[in-house]
Amino acid sequence: MFGTRLFRIVLPAFFFLVVSIPAFAQSFRVQCPNGTTLHKSLDGKVDSMVQGDPARPTAANANPQIKCQHISGGDGYATMADGQQIYLFAFGPLSGLADISMGLPGTQPASVFNSTFVGATFPGDGIAPNNAAIKEPALMMNNGVLAGQAPAPTMALDEDDEFYLTLSNVGMIMRPDLFEQHTVHFHGYPNASSFFDGVPDASVAINIAGSFTYYYTAPDAGTYFWHCHITPPEHLQMGMEGQLYVRPRQNRLKPGANLYTALHDYEYPMQPISTASNAHYLNASFPPEDCRKDVLCSTPLPRKDTGAVQAPGALYAYNDGDGSTRYDVEYPIQMMGFDPNFHFIGMTFNPEPFADMKDKYFLLSGRSYPDTIGVPGYAQLPTTATNPTASGAITTLDSDGVSRVSQPMPTLITINKTAGQTRALLRVSNLSVTEYHTLATEGVPMLVIGFHARLLRDMAGANMYYTTNSLTIGGGESADVILDVTNIPQGTYFLYTTQLDHLSNDAENFGGMMTEIRVL
C-alpha cells in the first residue's frame, strides 16, 4: 500500500521535476552526530565519517548537549478563521512530530533524533509518530509533501548546545513550474557564520531533492526567529517563517545555588579554570563554556547580590543573576499576516504584485481569533507542562485527499494559580514584511524584560524592565514579556491588537489578532 500510494500521489505531480536528474544526484541526507570534539559522547567518543566504524558512539550514549532537527521545504495549505483555504510556501516537520503535534518545539537531543522512527508511512494512516527523525527518502517525501506549516516548526535550544538542523527540499507540488530553492536564516542570531547564515549570496541554497545540514552553537539566551532567505518578501509572506529561542544556562543550576555567584563565576572564572567554577551546575560533566572565550558574554551582573537562589525546577528567560526573569509557563507567539490575493496569485502561475501587498488576515502563530484559543471538534492536543491547555487545531484537506494540521500552535494563555503558577513568559516576535503590530492587554499588565534577545539591563547592572499595557514591534523584532498574575483575580482577560483593522479576518469584521489570558 505504501509503495502504491507513493507512486499514485506524489510522483505524478513531481515527476517532471526530477525525471532529468540522475539517480546519484538525489542527495537527501540527514546528519546528527552523537559525539563531537566540543561535546564528546557519554562514553568519551567522537563521531567519525566512516559508516560502520566501531569507534563511533551510539545514540544511547549521545551527548545531551547535541540537539538536532529535520525540516522539509515545500508547500501546503492552511485554513483561516473564516473558513477560507490559503496556499502556503512553507516548512514542515520531519522530526519531533509527536511534540510538534502538541504545539511544542520539534528540537530533540541526538539520542531521540537518532532513534528509530515509528509513525505513519503516509499521513492519515492513523499511526501516531514518535520524535525520531525521518531519514529514509521515500518517507521524507510522503511526510514532507504538502506538509508545510505556518508558522514553521519551532526550534528551542539550551545555551552551550550544538545544534544540527537539516533542511530537505521536497519541492512545491502545487507549483511544479518553480524550481525553487530554500534556505534557513536565523534572523538576528549572534554567531551564524556566512556559510550557515542562509543568505544565498554568501552561503548555499538547497535545491529540490537535496538536503543540507546547518550547524550552530547556542551562545546567548533570548527569543529569535528564522525564515527562508530566498526572495524574502515573497517567501515570508507565503509562510516560510518560524520561532527560535534559547534557554539560559541558569536553568541548569543546582537547587539552592546562589544566582549572583553562579553568574559571577561564569563571567569571571577562577584563574586557572577550576572545577569550582562549575560546581553550581547540576551536571559538572557538561559545564558551560569558558566565558572568557565568548565575546557574547555581555549580560552585566546585577547591581548587588539579592540573595536569590535556584528553586527546584525553576525556569528563567535570561541569566539574570537575581531571579527577576523567572516564569512558570511560556508561550511563543509569532505575529503574522497574510495577503490572500498574493497567496492566490502565488498558486495560479501569475506574476506577484509586490507593490500591492497588503495583509488582510492578522494572526498569532498562524491563527486568528477565535481559532487562537482552539477549535471545538478538531484534534485536541494533550496537556503539557509548557502548554497546559493545548487546544484543537484546524485540519485542512489538501489536494492529495489528506487532511493535515498546518497551524499546530495555540496561543491560549493559561496561568493556573491553584497549581502555584503566577508568571507566564510570552516570547513575542514579528516577521511581517508590511506591518508594525501592536499587542495590548486588558487587566493584566505586561512587564517587558527583553528586547532583540537582550536582557534590558544597563552596564551599571540596573534592570531597565518596564511595565506597559501596549507593545508595538516591527518586522524583524522580538520582545520577552512577563505576565505576573499574583495580584490578579481569576477570570478571562484578553491579549489583542489595538489596530482596529487588524481585528478582522479578511472581509469578516471579527477576529484577527486576539487571544485569551485565562487565570485559573
Give the per-residue pLDDT at 25. 44
Please indicate, yes or no, whether residues 234 and 263 belong to a single structural domain of this protein. no
Helix or strand holding residue 448 (H, E): strand 446-451
For residues 34 and 121, membership in a common domain is answered with: yes
Q: Are both 285 and 229 inside the same structural domain?
A: no
User: Which letter does DSSP use for residue 369 in this model?
Assistant: B
- Both 107 and 198 in a single domain? yes
Q: Cell digits for 107?
A: 528540537
Task: Quote the pLDDT of residue 190.
Answer: 79
Is 38 a domain residue?
yes
438 lies in some domain: no
**Predicted local distance difference test score (pLDDT) of residue 357:** 87
Within a domain: 112? yes
* Phi and psi, residue 253, nearest 5°: -70, 150
The angle formed by the CA atoms of residues 86, 391 and 130, to the nearest 5 degrees, is: 90
* Structural domain includes residue 361: no
Residue 111 shares a structural domain with residue 168 = yes
Is residue 126 domain-shared with residue 266, that is, in the same domain?
Answer: no
pLDDT of residue 388: 37
Q: Identify whether 512 is part of a domain.
A: no
pLDDT tens track of the chain, all 520 residues? 334 333 333 333 333 333 333 333 448 999 999 999 989 999 999 987 666 677 789 999 999 999 999 999 999 999 998 999 999 999 999 999 988 888 889 999 999 999 999 987 777 677 888 999 999 999 999 999 999 999 999 999 999 899 999 999 999 999 888 888 999 999 888 766 888 988 888 889 999 999 999 999 988 899 999 999 998 889 999 999 999 999 999 999 999 999 999 888 888 776 554 555 567 777 766 666 667 666 666 688 999 999 999 999 999 999 999 999 999 999 999 999 999 999 998 888 778 788 888 999 999 999 999 889 886 545 444 444 444 344 577 888 888 888 888 888 778 999 999 999 999 999 999 988 888 999 999 899 999 999 999 999 998 999 999 999 999 999 999 999 999 999 999 999 999 999 999 999 998 988 999 999 999 9
Residues 265 and 167 in one domain: no
C-alpha cell at 512: 484577527
Question: 284, 316, 348 — which closes off a domain?
Answer: 316
Best CA proximity match to 112, nearest among 126, 125, 97: 97
Question: Within 13 Å and on the Cβ side, how many CA atoms surround 98?
Answer: 15
Q: Which alpha helices (H) appear in 156-284, and where do they start and end?
A: 232-238, 259-267
For residues 248 and 206, give the distance between their C-alpha atoms in angstroms, rounded to a whole number.
Answer: 32
Does residue 425 belong to any structural domain of this protein? Answer: no
**Positive or negative CA dihedral for 331, 337, 342, 348?**
positive
Given a contact cutoff of 8 angstroms between Cβ atoms, the answer to whether 343 and 352 are in contact is: no
CA–centroid distance for 24 within its chain: 33
| 85 inside domain | yes
Return the pLDDT at 50. 62
3-state secondary structure of 48: coil
- Domain identity same for 183 and 276: no
Domain end, chosen from 191, 215, 248, is at: 248
pTM (global) more than 0.85: yes
Domain boundary among 201, 217, 248: 248
Nine cell digits for residue 428: 513575542
Locus of grid cell 522530526: 95
Return d(Cα 153, Cα 409) in angstroms, integer: 9
- 241 in the same domain as 96: yes
Same domain, 92 and 108: yes
Helices H / strands E in the chain, number of each: 8, 25
Both 168 and 39 in one domain: the answer is yes
Whether 210 is in a domain gets the answer: yes
Looking at the structure, tell me whether residues 13 and 31 fall in a common domain: yes
Tell me the residue range of the domain where 173 lies.
Answer: 2-248
| Domain total in the chain | 2
